C-alpha cells in the first residue's frame, strides 16, 4: 500500500516534476503569482475548465497516467480551437486524503507528458484536501498572431462546415467502459474507441495550420457533440446550418460497437461529445485547397459535413427528411440517466 501526501509534500512533488521553463516565464512556481513576459504583435488566449470525478471520469477504470493526459489535453484543446499555441498552465486539485501518492505521481506524469508534447509549462496552481470527489481545475494561457485568431462568430452564409476526424468514438468508448463489468474485454475489443475516451489529443498543430492558412472563417473544438457545438457557431455568427447525415465521418469500430449496444451510430456522432476534433467553416471555393493543405502538411483527412445558411438553428438532413438538432448534445446541467 502507498501513503497519502501532505499538502506541502504534494506541492513539493509537483514542483519537482514540473521543472520545465520557458523564455517567456520570468517566475514560475514558488511565489504568490507567476510572472510572464508579453510578446509583441501577439494576443493572449486564456481558458479554464474543471474535471470532476464521477462526472467526467471514473478512477476505477481510468488509469491515472491517462487521466492526467486527458485533463491536460481537453483544456489545451480550447487553445487549439482558436488557432493558438499553449504556453503556460495552472493546475488546481482538490484531492481526498485516501488518494495514494502513487496515483498522484501517475496523474502528474501523464499531465506533464502532454505539456511536454505541446511545448507548454506548468507555472503554478493550488492543492487542497477534499472530503468529496477528486476535482481538477486547469487554466491554460496561450497566444496567437493578432491577425490570425479564429473565433466562433465569423461563419458566413455559403461556407462549408468541416470536421477534422471521425465523430462519436469517445462516446462509444465511454459506453463500452460503462458496461465493462459484463464486458471485461472492452479494452482489447475496442482499442480505438477506448483511447478516444481515455486519451484524446488536442489538435494544436492542425489548429495553427488552419489559422495561418487564412482560409478558415470560424472554428471551435467539439467537446459537447456536433449538434451543440455547431449550434454555438451558428448562434454567435447569427446564421443557420444544414448537416447531411451521409457525410458525417463514422469509424468502423463505432459502427460495430453500436450493433453490440443497440445504439444508432449517428446518435453518438451528433450528441456524444468529447471528440475534441476541430469544427470549422470556410468558403466553398477553398474546400479542395484546405483538403490538400491538411493532407500534405499533416497526412490526414478533413471531412465536409454540411453548409452555413441564412436563418438560425442546425438542421439534420437524413434520408430525405430534416429535423432540428441544435443544442442536442451533452449538457452538464440537464438530467441524465
- Band (pLDDT 50/70/90 cuts) for residue 4 is low
**pLDDT at residue 329, as a whole number:** 54
- Band (pLDDT 50/70/90 cuts) for residue 59 is confident
**pLDDT at residue 128, as a whole number:** 86
Q: In this structure, are 19 and 122 located in the same domain?
A: yes
**pLDDT at residue 332, as a whole number:** 47
Domain end point (choices 145, 170, 199):
145
**pLDDT at residue 184, as a whole number:** 55
- Helix intervals (H) in the chain: 7-17, 64-80, 101-118, 169-178, 186-189, 191-198, 204-213, 226-237, 252-261, 265-271, 287-298
Task: Supply the DSSP symbol for 39.
Answer: P
**pLDDT at residue 26, as a whole number:** 57
Q: In b/e form, how buried is each residue of 240-268, taking b as 16+ CB within 10 angstroms?
A: bbbbbbeebbbbebbeebbeeeebebbeb
**pLDDT at residue 99, as a whole number:** 82
**pLDDT at residue 181, as a whole number:** 47
Q: In this structure, are 220 and 269 located in the same domain?
A: yes
- Band (pLDDT 50/70/90 cuts) for residue 304 is very high
**pLDDT at residue 189, as a whole number:** 79
The residue among 42, 27, 18, 148 whose CA lies nearest residue 93 is 18
Q: In this structure, are 169 and 304 located in the same domain?
A: yes
CA distance 263 to 211: 36
Does some domain include residue 50? yes
Does some domain include residue 16? yes
**pLDDT at residue 180, as a whole number:** 55
CA distance 205 to 211: 10
pLDDT tens, residue by residue, 307-329:
999 999 999 999 889 999 988 75
**pLDDT at residue 337, as a whole number:** 40
CATH number at residue 108: 3.30.1330.10
Does some domain include residue 306? yes
- Asked whether the predicted pLDDT for residue 41 surpasses 80, the reply is no
pLDDT tens, residue by residue, 89-145:
999 999 988 888 888 899 999 999 999 999 999 988 888 888 889 999 999 998 888
- pTM comes to 0.86
The mean pLDDT value of the chain amounts to 86
CA distance 94 to 131: 9
Which of the listed ranges 6-15, 56-65, 95-104, 313-322 does the model predict with the highest average pLDDT?
313-322
More confident residue, 68 or 329: 68
What distances in angstroms separate CA 153 from CA 218, 219, 295, one per listed residue?
A: 6, 9, 27
Q: Are 200 and 272 in contact (CB under 8 A)?
A: no
Does some domain include residue 333? no
- Asked whether the predicted pLDDT for residue 336 surpasses 50, the reply is no
- Asked whether the predicted pLDDT for residue 64 surpasses 60, the reply is yes
- Band (pLDDT 50/70/90 cuts) for residue 182 is very low
Domain end point (choices 145, 162, 196):
145
- Asked whether the predicted pLDDT for residue 69 surpasses 50, the reply is yes
What is the domain range of residue 16?
7-145
Q: What is the CA radius of gyration of the chain?
A: 20
Domain end point (choices 116, 145, 174):
145
State how many domains the chain has. Answer: 2
Range 38-47 average pLDDT: 77
Range 229-253 average pLDDT: 95
Amino acid at each position: 500500500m502507498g501513503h497519502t501526501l501532505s499538502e506541502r509534500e504534494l506541492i513539493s512533488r509537483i514542483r519537482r516534476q514540473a521543472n520545465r521553463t520557458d523564455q517567456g516565464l520570468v517566475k514560475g512556481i514558488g511565489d504568490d503569482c507567476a510572472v510572464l513576459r508579453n510578446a509583441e504583435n501577439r494576443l493572449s488566449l486564456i481558458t479554464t475548465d474543471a474535471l470532476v470525478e464521477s462526472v467526467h471520469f471514473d478512477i476505477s477504470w481510468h488509469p491515472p497516467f491517462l487521466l492526467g493526459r486527458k485533463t491536460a489535453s481537453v483544456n489545451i484543446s480550447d487553445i487549439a480551437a482558436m488557432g493558438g499555441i499553449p504556453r503556460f498552465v495552472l493546475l488546481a486539485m482538490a484531492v481526498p486524503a485516501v488518494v495514494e501518492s502513487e496515483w498522484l505521481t501517475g496523474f502528474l506524469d501523464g499531465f506533464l507528458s502532454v505539456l511536454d508534447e505541446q511545448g507548454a509549462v506548468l507555472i503554478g496552481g493550488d492543492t487542497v484536501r477534499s472530503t468529496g470527489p477528486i476535482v481538477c481545475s486547469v487554466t491554460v494561457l496561450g497566444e496567437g498572431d493578432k491577425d490570425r485568431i479564429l473565433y466562433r462568430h465569423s461563419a458566413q452564409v455559403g461556407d462549408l462546415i468541416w470536421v477534422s476526424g471521425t465523430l462519436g468514438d469517445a462516446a462509444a468508448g465511454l459506453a463500452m467502459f460503462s458496461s465493462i463489468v459484463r464486458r471485461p474485454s472492452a479494452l482489447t475489443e475496442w482499442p480505438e474507441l477506448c483511447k478516444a475516451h481515455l486519451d484524446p489529443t488536442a489538435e494544436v498543430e492542425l489548429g495553427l495550420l488552419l489559422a495561418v492558412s487564412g482560409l478558415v472563417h470560424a472554428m471551435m473544438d467539439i467537446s459537447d457533440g456536433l449538434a451543440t457545438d455547431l449550434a454555438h457557431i451558428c448562434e454567435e455568427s447569427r446564421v443557420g446550418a444544414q448537416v447531411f447525415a451521409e457525410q458525417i465521418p463514422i469509424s468502423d469500430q463505432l459502427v460495430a460497437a453500436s450493433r453490440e449496444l443497440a445504439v444508432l451510430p449517428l446518435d453518438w456522432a451528433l450528441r456524444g461529445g468529447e471528440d475534441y476534433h476541430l469544427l470549422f467553416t470556410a468558403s466553398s471555393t477553398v474546400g479542395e485547397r484546405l483538403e490538400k493543405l491538411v493532407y500534405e502538411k499533416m497526412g490526414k483527412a478533413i471531412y465536409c459535413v454540411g453548409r452555413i445558411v441564412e436563418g438560425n438553428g442546425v438542421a439534420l438532413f437524413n434520408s430525405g427528411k430534416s429535423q432540428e438538432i441544435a443544442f442536442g448534445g451533452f449538457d452538464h446541467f440537464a438530467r441524465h440517466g
